């Protein structure tokens, strides 16, 4: 009987130990990365630049200032900034959702560039920039909302 009670005690202790390990491991599993202040600030700054550019293009539509050829530098700068943001996001483990949002913004800025290039001297009018603004701002908002949720620990 003494052997049996030791065996039962061992089984109970081993069970509690395994439960403890499972709880500890379960609490440490991360499904998403932590908040990244650099991504937050970089995305916010880029959103401001895109918004400023769209307003400038609306005002300059039909003039030489609004022509694609005179605004190529904006697209190059935006591409460089988006690449830097995406590379940073990719370097952070468990950050797939943020990377996906960034990739979508890159695609839409490229679509804006192609549209602008196609329109040539006519530039970008308000009727074109309004839907573009909604799409791109929705994507910027998705990234920022996710980063804010990370900061709150949700």
**How far, in Å, are 24, 62, 126 from residue 154 at the CA level?**
19, 47, 38
Q: What is the pLDDT of residue 32?
A: 80
In degrees, to the nearest 5, what angle opens at C-alpha 147 toward C-alphas 42 and 85?
30
Query: Using CA atoms, how far apart are residues 47 and 34, in angstroms rounded to an integer?
Result: 22
Same domain, 57 and 21: no
- Kindly tell me if the per-residue pLDDT of 149 is higher than 90: yes
- Kindly tell me if the per-residue pLDDT of 5 is higher than 60: no
Quick: pLDDT tens for 28-78: 555 688 999 999 999 999 999 999 999 999 999 999 999 999 999 999 999
Same domain, 54 and 81: yes
Count H helices and E strands in the chain, helices first.
Answer: 5, 0
Same domain, 42 and 84: yes
Q: Is 41 helix (H, G, I), strand (E, B) or coil?
A: helix
Same domain, 91 and 147: yes
Same domain, 59 and 115: yes
Q: Which domain holds residue 23?
A: 1-30
Least confident piece of the model among 8-17, 98-107, 141-150? 8-17
Q: Is 30 left (phi over 0), alpha (psi -120 to 50) or beta?
A: beta
As a whole number of Å, the CA-based R_g of the chain is 26
Quick: pLDDT tens for 118-146: 998 899 999 999 999 999 999 999 999 99
Least confident piece of the model among 10-19, 100-109, 141-150? 10-19
Same domain, 15 and 73: no
Same domain, 26 and 42: no
Same domain, 104 and 137: yes
Same domain, 41 and 26: no
Please indicate, yes or no, whether the overall pTM of this predicted structure exceeds 0.85. no
Domain count, the chain: 2
Same domain, 25 and 62: no
Same domain, 23 and 86: no
Query: Six-digit token pair at 30?
Result: 């991360």
Same domain, 130 and 79: yes
């Amino acid at each position: 009987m003494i052997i049996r009670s030791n065996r039962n005690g061992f089984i109970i202790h081993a069970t509690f130990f395994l439960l403890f390990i499972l709880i500890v491991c379960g609490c440490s599993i991360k499904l998403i990365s932590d908040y990244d202040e650099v991504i937050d600030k970089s995305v916010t700054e880029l959103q401001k630049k895109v918004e400023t550019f769209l307003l400038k293009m609306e005002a300059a539509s039909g003039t030489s200032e609004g022509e694609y050829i005179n605004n190529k530098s904006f697209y190059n700068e935006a591409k460089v900034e988006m690449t830097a943001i995406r590379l940073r996001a990719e370097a952070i483990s468990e950050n797939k959702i943020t990377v996906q949002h960034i990739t979508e913004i890159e695609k839409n800025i490229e679509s804006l560039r192609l549209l602008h290039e196609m329109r040539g001297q006519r530039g970008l009018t308000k009727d074109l920039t309004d839907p573009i603004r909604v799409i791109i701002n929705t994507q910027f908002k998705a990234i920022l909302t996710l980063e804010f949720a990370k900061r709150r620990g949700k």
